[in-house]
């Protein structure tokens, strides 16, 4: 299933696009972008026809979010993706490592492989960001403007035959990347719904676009925040493998927030103070000790034109 718009699901059977509605027998179960579904009824895809989604196949991965970090109620936003492309500008707006960390936690929680895509390298070099993330074994791409052929080839190779979710706040060049890999992605994202005939894709839900050579890229237009309330503290720490060794001397069940935590001492000897700070911010915001400040809409005025509701 590639998109949903006002209760109509856009599905693909091979090259055929089929519009479907949820069958009553499916009950209250949700269908999200990326779901593999069974269709019944008229699956010809002819104009005016409507198939029925009768079954949702088990998901191999599920990208989740909660409304905020203290909210344990999670929503699956994309199913069956295998890669989370974290798009981050090197300047204008400046990169925010804590936001990258937040996305990494979401990726590991969901079972997606992260890929760091650093844009606007014509304005600033990637060295500082790479110094922090390359040692973690995180794959990365660096692109400048205009997108040159080597960068474009690297991007295409990284996305080929995979199901990738692109995340990043406005102004980082996400749509430039979409347009580079998918001809007329702009038009597809701002598509006129074949069912309602209305204008832009205005819902905050995700939208999957097919890559010409195979694979899918999924945009999450309304996704401005990424609450991690459903993620356990252990999962948060998994996103910080560089600090794992330092937790060996922690007392059992350490919250890594109190004075008994061994990480302070370890960081003093091995370095990584900024990473420890980031880890603790995530842990604190999750346990409700801190106001959530690292949301995508955090320190920048929202410039989202899609008007995506944050809590749909
Ligand atoms: Zn600790």
Query: For residue range 119-167, what is the model confidence (pLDDT) as tens digits?
Result: 999 999 999 999 888 888 899 999 999 989 999 999 999 999 999 999 9
Distance 245 CA to ligand 1 centre (A): 11
The alpha carbon of 206 and the centre of ligand 1 are apart by a number of angstroms equal to 37
Question: Would you say how long the chain is, in residues?
Answer: 312
Query: Taking a C-beta distance cutoff of 8 angstroms, is the pair 47, 19 a contact?
Result: no
Mean pLDDT of the 268-288 span: 86
Q: Across all residues in the chain, what is the average pLDDT?
A: 83
Mean pLDDT over residues 262-270, rounded? 96
Question: What is the pLDDT confidence band of residue 188, given thresholds at 50, 70 and 90?
Answer: low
**Gap from CA of 250 to ligand 1 centroid (Å):** 5
Tell me the domains of the chain and their CATH numbers. Answer: 3-56 (no CATH), 62-226 (3.40.50.300), 233-286 (no CATH)
Find where tokens 């599920």 sit.
62
What's the CA-to-centroid distance between 275 and ligand 1, angstroms?
14
Number of Cβ atoms within 10 Å of the Cβ of 57: 11
pLDDT, residue 182, reads 87
What lies within 8 Å, CB to CB, of 240 at 6+ separation is 101, 275, 278, 279
Ligand 1 center–CA 105 separation, angstroms? 18
Q: What is the pLDDT of residue 21?
A: 94
Q: How far is the CA of 292 from the centre of ligand 1 (A)?
A: 21
In this predicted model, what pLDDT tens digit does every residue of 58-104 receive, in sequence order?
999 999 888 778 887 888 989 999 999 999 999 999 998 888 888 98
Q: In this structure, how many other beta carbons lie within 10 angstroms of the beta carbon of residue 289?
A: 14
C-alpha distances out from residue 293 to 129, 169, 237, Å: 20, 14, 19
Within 10 A of 56 (CB to CB), how many other CB atoms are there?
Answer: 18
User: Distance between CA atoms of 141 and 104, rounded to whole angstroms?
Assistant: 16
Is the pLDDT confidence value at 199 over 60? no
Strand ranges (E), 90-238: 113-119, 139-142, 163-167, 207-210, 216-219
What is the average pLDDT across 204-221?
86
Pair of tokens at residue 309: 């509701």
Q: How far is the CA of 264 from the centre of ligand 1 (A)?
A: 8
Asked if the model's pLDDT at residue 295 lies above 80, the reply is no
> Among candidates 260, 228, 230, 231, which has minimal Cα distance to 247?
260
| Residue 194, pLDDT score | 40
- Assigned token pair, 202: 């205005």
**What is the SS3 assignment for 5?**
strand
Of the chain, the percentage scoring pLDDT greater than 70 comes to 83
Other CB atoms within a 10 A radius of the CB of residue 299 amount to: 13
| Ligand 1 centroid distance, CA of 261 (Å) | 4
Residue 285's pLDDT band, with cuts at 50, 70 and 90, is confident
Token couple for 274: 């900024």
């Amino acid at each position: 299933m590639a998109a949903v718009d006002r209760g109509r699901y856009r599905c693909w059977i091979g090259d055929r696009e089929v519009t479907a509605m949820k069958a009553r027998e499916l009950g209250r179960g949700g269908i999200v972008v990326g779901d593999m579904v069974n269709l019944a009824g008229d699956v010809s895809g002819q104009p005016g026809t409507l198939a029925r989604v009768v079954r949702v196949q088990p998901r191999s991965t599920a990208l989740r979010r909660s409304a905020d970090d203290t909210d344990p109620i999670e929503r699956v936003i994309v199913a069956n993706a295998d890669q989370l492309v974290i798009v981050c500008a090197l300047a204008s707006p400046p990169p925010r490592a804590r936001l990258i960390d937040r996305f990494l936690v979401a990726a590991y929680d969901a079972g997606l492989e992260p890929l760091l895509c650093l844009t606007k390298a014509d304005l600033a070099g990637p060295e500082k960001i790479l110094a922090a993330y390359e040692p973690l074994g995180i794959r990365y791409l660096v692109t400048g403007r205009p997108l040159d052929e080597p960068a474009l080839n690297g991007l295409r190779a990284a996305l080929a035959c995979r199901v990738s979710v692109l995340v990043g706040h406005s102004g980082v060049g996400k749509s430039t990347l979409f347009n580079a890999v998918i001809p007329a992605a702009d038009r597809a994202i701002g598509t006129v719904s074949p069912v309602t005939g209305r204008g832009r894709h205005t819902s905050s839900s995700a939208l999957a676009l097919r890559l010409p050579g195979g694979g899918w890229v999924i945009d999450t237009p309304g996704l401005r925040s990424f609450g991690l309330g459903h993620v356990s503290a252990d999962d948060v720490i998994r996103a910080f493998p560089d600090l794992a060794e330092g937790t060996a001397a922690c007392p059992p069940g350490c919250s890594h927030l109190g004075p008994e935590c061994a990480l302070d001492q370890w960081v003093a000897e091995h370095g990584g103070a900024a990473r420890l700070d980031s880890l603790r911010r995530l842990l604190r915001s999750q346990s409700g000790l801190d106001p959530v400040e690292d949301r995508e809409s955090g320190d920048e005025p929202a410039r989202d034109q899609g008007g995506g509701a944050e809590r749909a």
